[in-house]
Chain A
Amino acid sequence: MGKTMAEKILSAHSGKDLYAGDIAVVNVDLSYVQDGTGPLAVRQMIEMGLEKAHNPDHSIFFLDHASPSPRKELSNDHKLLREFAQKTGIHLSEIGNGISHHIVLEKYAKPGDLIVGADSHTCTGGAIGAFATGMGSTDVGVAIALGKTWMRVPETYKIVVNGELKKGVYSKDIILHLIGMISSSGATYKALEFHGDVIEKLTVDARSTIANMSVEAGAKTGIFPPDEKTKEFLKTWGREADFKELFPDEDAVYEKTIEIDGTKLKPTIACPHLVHNTKTIDEIGDVPIHQVFLGTSCNGRLEDLRIAASILKGKKINKKTRMIVTPSSRSNYLNAMKEGLLEIFVEAGAVVTGPGCGACVGVHEGILADGENCLATQPRNFKGRMGNPNAFIYLGSPAVAAATAIEGKIADPRNFL
């Protein structure tokens, strides 16, 4: 019987012939935690008597959520992670290096890898053809210490996007449309496998937005078969040798196939307080926006910054709004600086912060006031997400973010292209 991508990767990591529904112990290639989940992972590892890393070079502590730390309690959490990393040889990614998932894509993830992270958006790794999934602190603590975890092999939904994206429509619109179609729990526990001629044309940067938000449909992972675009991405990061061919079998069994006509997609917005509350830009009406936030684990990559900068170049941000730009990694920050993108943002009136998760996590750098509306490129808009349960978060693409910053209300990027 043929296998899906998920079945192939999990089989290869267990030494067994696995299919959807099977449960097995699997060896992991990379395990990581961040500063929100890491301290609990460390305490659980100590409690279990597992104060070690199975493979320190493939275990990472990322300081990305409170970066730099805004409070002494979080500084103490950082200290705990730094000291444990030093003792065990686990890699530590310091404040300012950026968001775990982007650094993992740039430096660590390979097609066919099995990656577990104590962060729900670990599934971003699927952009490169890895089976990457988010788990809790104790699960990842065990994976770091023992180099393995247990998993049930998920059933797979095949998502096929054919046609051609119109001007002003991006990968963010594809994933928002999909979640709007199937709901925030429409793919609970499933693996999403992406195919189709629209998908084939997307860069790994663009794919990472879709992989990242697969969890917002409830999925365990969102995975893209590695191809020429994957090869291109690895070459950019000097890792051509890490490329590996991997594709699902012709006769793989999918639980469901969902087809999307890419030609019909429009810029799409998720309205408060759920990601599946989507509307097209034509349906959204007049929504004043007090804060625009460009960045985070799904849309802080160089390609995203380029799209927004191309719209903002030579323009000013509307007086009724403010804009925060947070590149996702040090490399994206540096490259955006070299290309003059940061200059465009600052001249337009935006605040550019250091790399990291930024305002998305409600810890610092952009907490909303009561009653305010925010248009963010982040993956989720739950009540309270940006630090205030009395505020309202709308989600859109980097192009929507830039257009919105100019108009001071949710705006159609197609008018600026």
Chain B
Amino acid sequence: MAARSVTSREARAGWLFLLPWIVGFLAFTAGPMLYSLWLSLTHYDMLKPPTYVGLENYREAVADERVGTAMWNTVFFTVLHVPAQIALALGLASLLRRAGRTAGFFRTIVYLPVMTPPVALAALFLLLLNGQNGAVNEFLSWFGFTGPNWTTDPAWIKPGLVVMGLWTVGSTAVLYLAALTRVPLERYEAARLDGASPWRQFWHVTLPGISGTVYFTVVVNTIASLQVFTEAYAMYFGARAKQSAEGDAALFYVIHLFQEAFGSLRMGYASALAWFLFAVIAVVTFVQVRMSRRYVHNEGERP
């Protein structure tokens, strides 16, 4: 009996500590999700009460050309952005690991861009990527290349955003650096004894050793990339109407959703768009989780 009352007291204390989260979850996650699901079946402009329209918003979204453009832009960006980030972060981490005692300094250099406010980053890269006299194209011209008009040519706006994104690769690189230091050195020695070249060591020792971390960053970066908003919005949208060809090339899914919701006050339609994005992200994540079973070796890494 005594033990039982201790347990129930412990349970009560536990629930009390959890209370803020439970309230917040109901008020800001579960409640809004249900509300949004209902709203997605209505027309709602905040002036008149919502009117039920069934699946009309979803039908409209499927037929909406701008939704198609936005989805295409987002997927295109993600397919370029995520592999570029992962590859550069891996390269940086391998390099930083060999930096010895100076690693701290270089880690700081690589991490500082992560601290830069994205709007400041957007303003800065509008100029660095400028087609006429931007520093990026000037650098390319040293090697005889003529750089494109990154910020005005619709074909180059998304690649430009990918290039800009490379500058904030620091947090991923720091994760890889931590993972690399956990790969046992004996494995490299064994590989060297077998006569493996650095490249083969990378493929057969390094990559399997950190595959869990690579997998994690691929999933997280993909989810984040499918929701890309701030830099693109700061550069190509806003008060000044610059939304011509450039704007459409940078019209990402969440930007479109944001404009429908807070620009046109189409709250029901925007809710349907949100659920559509949710479905896409859920499917992509599910596929990545399934694929990971084949490629990820979790031994030696903390789960």
- A and B interact physically: no
